[in-house]
Amino acid sequence: MTESILVTGATGFIGSNLVNCLVKKRYQVSSLVRKGKSGHSKSKIITGDLTDKKIDFGNEQYDCVFHLASHTPLEKNKTILHKVNLEGTKNLFDQIKNNTKSILYVSGLGVYGETGERVVDESFSYNPNTEFVKTRIMAQKYLEKNCKEIGVDFSVVHFGDVYGSGGWFYEFLIKRLLKHTFRLPKKGDYYKGFVHVDDAVGSMISIMEKNKMNDTYNVVDSMPTKFRDFVNYTADAIGVKHPGNVPVFLAKTVLGGDLIKLLTTSMKVSNEKISKIYNFKFHSYKDGIPNVISELRNQNRLQ
Ligand SMILES: NC(=O)c1ccc[n+]([C@@H]2O[C@H](COP(=O)([O-])OP(=O)(O)OC[C@H]3O[C@@H](n4cnc5c(N)ncnc54)[C@H](OP(=O)(O)O)[C@@H]3O)[C@@H](O)[C@H]2O)c1
């Protein structure tokens, strides 16, 4: 059984849920955490930034490194994106390459670019249309090539839009719906693949536990959905009115061109491959959103 795990991005939305789950499953977890931040108390905290030339990992030997740390497409400065998401990944690899058996790299579906009405699976070629994604692919390719050279197992997961009681779903959608300030670019008329955070975490752990490394997986639920329908369903679930629209040029000035392009690119994605090794808890946003909303209600976070 895999014992010792390193999680980068451990303070983030998906990373914190992953650490939580791994700790509950009694793995020995190390969390890479930036100075001034705190990580899960039952994980070993390793203080460091991806760009630090010397991070003190001690003598730990990892069975798997889950690499989630990255700037999001909200970061508009291309130099920073390059420095953290590409150079930071290379820097991390240089420091852990002799201390791990495998690396699982987390990326997004943006790698496939414009795919029209075709249902996307893992055989599709990458066709990135943002600088953000181009940089992420360079980091992925670097890891892939270098892991192969030294015999470290490598896998990549491309997540759809991951929703749960944190991250973009809470910070950008729920909070703005509650304040009536959320608006839909392009009327929300594009298909997206969504995935509940429990399934995002569960699928990564399954890949590792079932020893299905050295492969690529797209991770979304079973129901490609128009963004507008997802948003309106969420609005109904929290009892607020459906949001209006915003012109794309205006949305870009607030959120940046890359993020709006990633958001408004329509894509239908198959989860057939990951479903062979992982049983989804939530097959559709219609099951997953009520679960998240009741969690937020219990925590009094829907004011
Ligand atoms: N959320 C989604 O819908 C989604 C979809 C597709 C792919 N992904 C990918 O999944 C991964 C995790 O996403 P998330 O939603 O959990 O993101 P998040 O909440 O923004 O978390 C990002 C994490 O990366 C850390 N980080 C950023 N810059 C760093 C640096 N220079 N050195 C060390 N750590 C650094 C952050 O640390 P601080 O807490 O110190 O800032 C945080 O722990 C990312 O790679 C993202 O691209 C996410």
Domains and CATH numbers, the chain: 4-164+193-221+270-281 (3.40.50.720)
12 lines ligand 1 (CB under 6 A): yes
Q: Are 109 and 156 in contact (CB under 8 A)?
A: no
Q: Are 163 and 289 in contact (CB under 8 A)?
A: yes
73 lines ligand 1 (CB under 6 A): no
Residue-by-residue DSSP string for 169-228: IIIIIIHHHHHT--EEEGGG-SEE-EEEHHHHHHHHHHHHHTT--SSEEEE--S--EEHH
76 exposed, middle or buried (CB, 10 Å; 0-12, 13-18, 19+)? middle
Residue that the structure tokens 């066709």 belong to: 127
> What's the mean pLDDT when you consider all of the chain?
96
Please choose from 70, 79, 159 the residue to mutate so as to test ligand 1's pocket, defined by most ligand atoms within 8 A of CB.
70
Query: Can you give the pLDDT at residue 24?
Result: 98
Q: From the alpha carbon of 8, which atom of ligand 1 is closest?
A: 34
**209 CB less than 6 Å from ligand 1?**
no
Q: Is 258 in the pocket of ligand 1 (CB under 6 A)?
A: no
Q: Per-residue pLDDT tens for 242-274? A: 999 999 999 998 888 888 989 999 999 999 999
Residue nearest (by alpha carbon) to ligand 1 atom 36: 9
Is residue 125 over pLDDT 80? yes
CB atoms within 10 A of CB 279: 10
Q: How does pLDDT run across 14-70, given as a tens digit for each residue?
A: 999 999 999 999 999 999 999 999 999 999 999 999 999 999 999 899 999 999 999
221 Cβ contact list (under 8 Å, min separation 6): 160, 193, 194, 195, 196, 199, 271, 280, 282, 283, 284, 285, 288
At residue 97, the 3 state secondary structure works out as: coil
d(CA 179, CA 141): 42
Q: Could you tell me the distance, in angstroms and rounded to a whole number, from the CA of residue 12 to the centre of ligand 1?
A: 5
Could you report the per-residue pLDDT of 166-175, keeping only the tens digit for each? 999 999 999 9
- Mean of the pLDDT values across residues 285-300? 97
Task: Tally the residues of the chain.
Answer: 303
